């Protein structure tokens, strides 16, 4: 788990977790190679997307809310924290940052999304697809960018 946030009523917990790499079988299970692609030269393992999950604060079944080749931002060692999960006041939506891929060179391809928790649908907040990050919903229920 990389980050988490409790809903305003304290009844649900949203959290971000990385996907697992597909299991390799046979001789391929020993093959640790991968394409660096748009990543830095210090990368030693294939990056995997991180996605949003939700669970009742009392426990129970975890429900995956997002999936795909894109990712939520993650924190790398010696870097600032990733964009936080920010609930709307009514607890019906979570504001997230959607990054085009898990490769560090693509982190500028980020947009703020509003995720409907019940339906699992997302919509872009501004319509932009680059250079968005670290948005919080204020106590007044308005969207505000943080510096």
Q: What are the pLDDT tens digits along the chain (147 aa)?
A: 678 899 999 999 999 999 998 888 999 888 888 888 888 888 888 889 999 999 999 988 999 999 999 999 887 777 777 788 999 999 999 999 999 999 888 888 999 999 999 999 999 988 888 788 777 776 665 655 544
Q: What is the per-residue pLDDT for 99?
A: 94
Which three-class secondary structure state does DSSP give residue 29? helix
Burial classification of residue 46, based on how many CB atoms lie within 10 Å of its CB (0-12 exposed, 13-18 middle, 19 or more buried)? middle
Q: What is the per-residue pLDDT for 146?
A: 47
Q: What is the per-residue pLDDT for 142?
A: 60
In degrees, rounded to 5, the angle at the alpha carbon of residue 50 between the alpha carbons of residues 45 and 53 is 145
Please count the structural domains in the chain: 1
Expressed as residue numbers, the domain containing 10 is 3-145
Look-up of token digits 């924190």: 75
Q: What is the per-residue pLDDT for 137?
A: 78
Q: What is the per-residue pLDDT for 144?
A: 52
Of all helices (H) and strands (E), which one includes residue 97?
Answer: strand 93-99
Cβ(114)–Cβ(122) below 8 Å: yes
pTM of the model: 0.83
């Amino acid at each position: 788990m990389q980050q988490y946030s409790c809903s305003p009523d304290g009844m649900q917990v949203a959290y971000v977790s990385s996907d697992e790499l597909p299991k390799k079988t046979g001789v391929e299970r020993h093959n640790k190679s991968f394409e660096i692609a748009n990543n830095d030269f210090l990368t030693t393992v294939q990056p995997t997307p991180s996605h949003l999950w939700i669970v009742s604060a009392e426990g129970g079944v975890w429900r995956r809310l997002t999936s795909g080749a894109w990712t939520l931002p993650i924190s790398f060692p010696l870097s600032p924290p990733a964009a936080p999960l920010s609930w709307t006041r009514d607890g019906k939506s979570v504001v997230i940052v959607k990054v085009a891929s898990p490769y560090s060179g693509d982190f500028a391809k980020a947009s703020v999304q509003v995720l409907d928790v019940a339906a699992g649908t997302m919509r872009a907040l501004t319509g932009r697809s680059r250079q968005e990050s670290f948005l919080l919903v204020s106590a007044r229920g308005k969207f505000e960018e943080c510096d």
